[in-house]
Amino acid sequence: MTDHIEIDRDGQVLIATLARTEKKNALTTAMYQALVEAFAQAGRDETIGAVLLRGKDGIFTAGNDIGDFLAAAGSMETSGGTLFIRALAAFEKPLIAAVDGPAIGIGTTLCFHCDLVYAAPGARFQMPFVNLGLVPEAGASLLAPQRFGYAKAAEFIMLAESFDAAAARDLGLVNAIVEPADLYAHALAKAQALAAKPRDALLATRRLLRGDPAILKARMDEELRLFGEAVRSPQARTAFMAFMQKKA
């Protein structure tokens, strides 16, 4: 585990908090590994009925830590990020997200795998993959058009434009907008409500709502193949270097 992922429990809800606020909760390999372990723990523990994801201090996540990502990019299939998105897609219990501040890259795409998402008015979503010479991940190329419609999916994935909490709610990515002071409590209450439902009926209903998992897995495999090719391209390397120089 890592100090940058805080794991807590409230009744039947496991709470995973991204806690690397000095880097806007940018995700490292160690953080991804800790999240995968947390999902495995929650899956095994029959007393846990739901998982809540949130960021610390009004920040969800700025996405991948680019330096850490480049260091680990040689083995995409076994990278922390890949293992995390596979764990997300395979997780069988309800997932809830409380989003405030930036939700960049995986910060947005993980929301497609959540059953309920609540956002503060200041939440900001973006999928800047194309800007970095990459393709979408976590099944976003399938799930975004399903959720948004093709036109809006193209706008937010191909143009990589950011969108706010109100737009996310209108697009169906966010269930409700909640004031920052109440966001965590609201999301936790909803997670607890789900965890208290009859478990077998809830999980069966969730499977029905989500549809054939083989379709999503096939798309994620295709994204991963193309992502692996793209990350080694000169275009991506140039974009990464420009991004890191801008941040320096």
As to burial, measured by CB atoms within 10 angstroms (0-12 exposed, 13-18 middle, 19+ buried), residue 46 is: exposed
- Residues of the chain with pLDDT > 70, as a percent, come to 95
Asked whether residue 203 is assigned to any structural domain, the reply reads no
What is the structure's pLDDT at 1? 54
Residue 217 placed within a domain: no
For the cut 60, the answer to whether the pLDDT of residue 182 exceeds it is yes
Model pLDDT, residue 146? 97
- Is 238 contained in some domain? no
Segment among 4-8, 79-83, 150-154, 164-168 with least mean pLDDT: 79-83
pLDDT per position as a tens digit, 187-243: 999 999 999 999 999 999 999 999 999 999 999 999 999 998 888 888 877 877 776
- Is residue 176 in some structural domain? yes
Task: Please state, rounded to an integer, the average pLDDT across all residues of the chain.
Answer: 93
This model's pTM is above 0.85: yes
Rounded-to-integer distance, Cα 243 and Cα 192, Å = 40
Q: What domain count does the chain have?
A: 1
> What is the average per-residue pLDDT within 114-126?
98
Residue 122 within any structural domain of the chain: yes
Q: Does the pLDDT of residue 245 top 70, yes or no? A: no
Does residue 77 lie in a domain region?
yes
**What is the CATH classification number for the domain harbouring 98?**
3.90.226.10
Has residue 222 been placed in a domain? Answer: no
Summarised one tens digit per residue, pLDDT across range 132-150 is 999 999 999 999 999 999 9
Residue 247 located in a structural domain:
no
**pLDDT the model gives residue 237:** 75
Range of the domain at 41: 5-182
Across 74-78, 140-144, 169-173, 233-237, least confident range? 74-78
Report the pLDDT value the prediction gives residue 72, as an integer from 0 to 100.
65
Whole-number pLDDT of residue 67: 77
Q: How confident is the model at residue 15 (pLDDT cuts 50, 70, 90)?
A: very high
